[in-house]
Structure 1
């Protein structure tokens, strides 16, 4: 494991397990494709991160990716997912996390101290995250139950409407000021997450939703996998106004490796060099400060730049950052220390 292990804000490996594309044993021993497995994590210094439980929308993801190769696009928002469907899928996600732990691929962590201890270990440090809260009931019974089972991070929406609020579409060019923000139920959800010390993820929320969370939450504002709108004017990215709110709360942003959210032209095309990632890095550090930027790869859920490829390719990104003038102190911060800081501040442990 490298001296600079990466704690990552977001991956979708669990979705691959639930879709039957891989097994927990395969993740532990090595996979022929995808972005994350234990052997490649050890080679690349991928210490772990937020493992998302995400309920997919019906339809073909590749169709959306094809749309996002056009010069301009506005992919229609998927329909809402019924609560009972989402709850059953999320239960399977928790079971998949347990299978990964039993196979020796991950070590499930519920505190920042546990994450820090796990980062140098063979197993990946895994924090359980729910992306899109369709599975949560209005009385928050499941939220409490899943918190007791290790849930420590939650995004109220993905890019579709929920009873809690409104997400941003896959739209380019566009700013994120699209539609209303949190519902009254959504505002109650944020308060409940604050009470339980569950981190609230701003990624996928629209502009008004981010403002609602900023007004309500007593925790640092965190976007686990988002980029700078000033570099790539995609609806999924964060404007300077939003970055200023995150800075003022002492939160942070994880840089998303998804090609369409990195490239200034918004294209879902992996053929580009890491200087584009560095442009986002520079803007985020300038706006947020060195203590509030990390990585949020979206591995196994996005088309990532070819020079990275998968988690074994992270040394290429670290090399690019070194060549860009990043010293050891800042490298430590952006690879894992900033995440540890904001997790401690959010969770209290």
Structure 2
């Protein structure tokens, strides 16, 4: 099953290209030489586009994911990245997305009308997203610049601390109740995003930060790539109380494909059956309703179930949905319809420059 097209809540392609791990050219993303995402795999998997994340890594520091093979773990987080370094990397990754648009491979979309048009034309529909706001200054000058370039979604933190708030560690077992919430600048950032109609992403925020966004935001609550804590008790996952707050705001959650956040044992084991993804989808729909659940793969940034492996493997997920008894209308909602619904509510239909 390569239809309906999938619009996805998160990928890290821009980081892979920026770091040199994947070429942006015909031998890489524009052909078949990418990692989990490239144009050939997109066509094979029925991948229509999604949120393309700008993410600033720490230089010479990375998480040791081998620790996530243990029965319990708590990975130390890298230090905060300062603004000058973060802004250089963020602008570089935004530039990569703009260049890919010039190549005709994708369209940077600022409205759901533009997303639908791009997918109808066979172009990848790309939402410029920022995962962690290290590149945003307290005066929001960089936010205004990136907004003009197409930024329409922003997560105040990746798991490490920023001037705006605190994220969750990679800790299992754990809740997300791991520290203080948004700073005063963080609350100002949420209000600025509301003013611009930029989606605020709750994924990676700790519980205190989540509740601060719920208190101060007037937009639907959205976690672009998160799962249910009741099934996988990982700090990155959302409790029932958080899921109910998202439901009550008429927001949504995108299912994260990263196996450690799918599994009851929190293990980073690619030999995770697709049925575990269906189990998460069932639970999320039970808590949120079938109109508030979608997909947020984390492709090019996570270990996913081996049977899927890359976006070319997405037909296996659609087939598993069908085998579970999901009808065509529900599969369409999960694949892209629910993202269009919540983005309509957050952005409105018309393009804004």
TM-score calculated relative to the size of structure 1: 0.97
CA RMSD of aligned residues (A): 1.2
Distance in 2, matches of 1:321 and 1:334, equals 10
The range that moved more, 287-296 or 99-108, is 99-108
Q: Which residue of 2 aligns with 1:322?
A: 322
The range that moved more, 271-280 or 162-171, is 271-280
Within 5 A, what are the aligned runs for 1:108-127?
Answer: 108-127=108-127
The answer to whether the 8 Å contact 1:259/1:270 transfers is yes
Distance in 2, matches of 1:253 and 1:172, equals 21
The answer to whether the 8 Å contact 2:259/2:303 transfers is yes
- The alignment partner of 1:107 has SS state of strand
Q: Answer yes or no: is 1:56 the counterpart of 2:68.
A: no
Q: 1:97-126 deviations in whole A, cap 9, x for unaligned?
A: 012112222111111110111123332110
Distance in 2, matches of 1:306 and 1:34, equals 14
The answer to whether the 8 Å contact 1:220/1:250 transfers is yes
Q: Which residue of 1 aligns with 2:45?
A: 44
The answer to whether the 8 Å contact 1:225/1:255 transfers is yes
- The alignment partner of 1:188 has SS state of helix
Within 5 A, what are the aligned runs for 1:1-349?
Answer: 2-26=2-26, 27-59=28-60, 61=62, 64-349=64-349
Which 5+ residue runs of structure 1 have no aligned equivalent? none
Q: 1:267-292 deviations in whole A, cap 9, x for unaligned?
A: 11101211111111011000000000
Q: Could you say if the C-alpha distance between residues 19 and 28 of structure 1 is closer, same or farther in structure 2, counting changes exceeding 3 Å?
A: closer
The range that moved more, 121-130 or 10-19, is 121-130
Distance in 2, matches of 1:198 and 1:272, equals 34
1:21 to partner: Cα distance: 1.7
Distance in 2, matches of 1:16 and 1:33, equals 9
What number of residue pairs does the alignment pair up? 348
